[in-house]
Amino acid sequence: MTSLHADEAFLGHYQLSHDPFAPRVPGFKFFPAQRKPVLGQLHHLARYSQLLLVVTGPQGSGKTLLRQALVASTNKQSVQSVVVSARGAGDAAGVLRQVAQALNVAQAEIGAILAQVVQLALTGQEVYLLVDDAEQLDESALEALLALAAGAPEGRPHVFLFGESSLIADLDQLSTEEERFHVIELQPYTEEETREYLAQRLEGAGQGIELFSADQISDIHESSDGWPGNINQVARDAMIEAMIASRSAVKRPSMGFNMPKKHVLAISAVVVVAVAAAWLMPGRSKAPTTGAPANEQAQLPLGQTPTANGNPAVEFAGSSQPMPLPLVGQSQPVMRGPLAEAAGGISEGDDGVPVEGSSAVPPTVTTIAPPSGVAAGPTPTPAARPTPAPTQVASAKPVPAAKPVEKPLAAKPAAAAKPAEKPVTVAKAAGGSWYAGQAPGNYVVQILGTSSEATAQNFVKEQGGEYRYFKKVLNGKPLYVITYGNFSSRDAAVSAIKSLPAKVQAGKPWPRTVASVQQELATTR
């Protein structure tokens, strides 16, 4: 299933107008909890503080959304906002070039830029300089931005840096003697704020918070550590897992129960006619001649095989439900296609292999032949004829005449015996043992979760290295969570994410504590 079809199935299953947890959603509303006070503080400091302002938080903490809200909430007539990205242009030359271009300054130099800021101040306009991904700025770029923030006596731009906490240490090295910047650290949501955030997102897509139970909301909050970016990812994964589980749990309709009554009656009539014809055949009472058992076997209705006393015996190893029966000597293929279509939904067996226990799997039928060396006895008289039972045999094949018992062959030497096959080695699963032995305060990077252990094993095999997985239970179903590495701090885990392969980063991996994994393992046990 392509990602497009998967998105369509996700939206259709929950009847959503759009993906509520996508980075950009229609009609997005700024969630005020833990962020509105910071927004007000930034406006206040921009007016009264002479320092460079720094907003820090881990990946997925909402820094970019806060920067967008700051720009949107300014008075466009009195404030000119210049947004700069440090991604790919983290040196002084790259940053100054972006600022000069936005302010229509010919020379990308600090003096020329400050002169333009002073000219704008004379016309009643202030300049807000906002830098995204500021943790990627090098020392020269930070020095240039500190110089711009200091400004000139006649005017100065208000400089805002939005980045991860590693940015603070770099600024400290450049401001050893005087205070040159002010830091605001974003805080994660509480569990109640997480619930309100989920409700706002779902309501924007046409649904409500009732899609999640209280336990699910608690799990989402704990797994995401309360950071909005992580909440989006974990909540979407939980909804997809619940969708797959609900569709897999739909039972496929039974072939026997869905058969129309008139078809059952017609088949029963055919069975009765065939049995009557077998009993009324001329020459039944004569003693059998050579090869008679095979001929009589070919005439038995529905492929039944005579036992030692001539009575047909059939052992059923499959379902006892009625199924369409072929006539003698004819075979009917199992109609797998229509059954799969009638079942509907998405299941593990949709790749063409019927799910065990479903009506698409034909029942096993074992026919018992006479013991070796014993000839079939004479056919019983009509007075003693038993009532034949309906069978589920697909076709009737003649059984050859019994062969005499052969002497067993001499035992072959032990060396000639076929050696036992070695068990297939599966991917290394860290399980609970590895995680239990790690420090709770350490961090791992969660890569993805899947309901198939084989998928987790194949992923770990393919990537190798520091990839592991453990088993948890989500909504009563097993979930196999793949993690990467073992880091002493969140910053180290975040840095490691940037070095992961592009296809792994595409899944939006995120850091989490080993303690949270250990708690999930304890709950699972």
C-alpha count within 13 angstroms, C-beta hemisphere, residue 198: 32
The answer to which of 193-197, 272-276, 286-290, 508-512 has the lowest mean pLDDT is: 286-290
In the chain the domains, ranked by start, together with CATH numbers, are 3-16+190-248 (no CATH), 36-185 (3.40.50.300), 431-524 (3.30.70.1070)
Backbone angles phi, psi at 339, to 5 degrees: -65, -40
Model confidence at 282, in pLDDT bands (50, 70, 90)? low
- Looking at residue 141, its pLDDT comes to 93
377 pLDDT more than 70: no
The alpha carbon of 386 is separated from its chain's Cα centroid by a whole number of angstroms, namely 57
Tell me phi and psi for residue 153, to 5 degrees. -55, -30
- pLDDT beyond 80 at 428: no
d(CA 338, CA 341): 5
What is the rounded CA–CA span in Å between residue 231 and residue 22? 11
What the block records as the tokens of 67 is 């920067």
**For residues 107-128, average pLDDT:** 92
pLDDT at 450: 86
Model's pTM, two decimal places?
0.49
pLDDT at 439: 92
pLDDT of 488 > 70? The answer is yes
Name residues whose C-beta falls within 8 Å of residue 421's C-beta, 6 or more positions apart in sequence. Answer: none
User: Measuring CA to CA, which residue among 234, 155, 162 is closest to residue 194?
Assistant: 234
* 238 has pLDDT over 70: yes
Distance CA 524, CA 515 (A): 14
Give the residue-averaged pLDDT of 403-427: 41
